[in-house]
Amino acid sequence: MVDVDKAVVAKLKKQGKDFEILVDCDKALEFKEGKSVLIDDVIAVDHVFKDVKKGEKASEHDLQSLFKTTDAREISKIIVKEGVIQLTREHLARAREEKRKQVITLIHRNAVDPKTGIPHPPQRIEAAMEEAKVRIDENKKAEDQSEDI
CATH code of the domain containing 106: 1.10.10.900
Which residue range forms the structural domain that includes residue 139? 89-148
Same domain, 80 and 100: no
> Do 93 and 45 belong together in one domain?
no
User: What pLDDT was estimated at residue 104?
Assistant: 92
**8 A C-beta contact, residue 12 and residue 19:** yes
Q: Would you say 93 and 54 are in contact if contact means Cβ atoms under 8 Å apart?
A: no
Per-residue pLDDT of the chain (149 residues; tens, 9 = 90+): 777 778 899 999 999 999 999 999 889 999 998 888 899 999 999 999 999 999 999 999 999 999 999 999 999 999 999 999 998 888 888 889 999 999 999 998 888 888 888 888 899 989 989 999 989 888 788 888 888 88
Q: How far apart are CA 143 and CA 54, in angstroms?
A: 42
Do 61 and 100 belong to one domain? no
Q: Find the helix or strand (DSSP H, E) in which 80 lies.
A: helix 72-82
pTM of the entire structure? 0.71
Cross-sheet strand order for the sheet of 84-85: 56-57, 49-51, 17-23, 8-14, 84-85
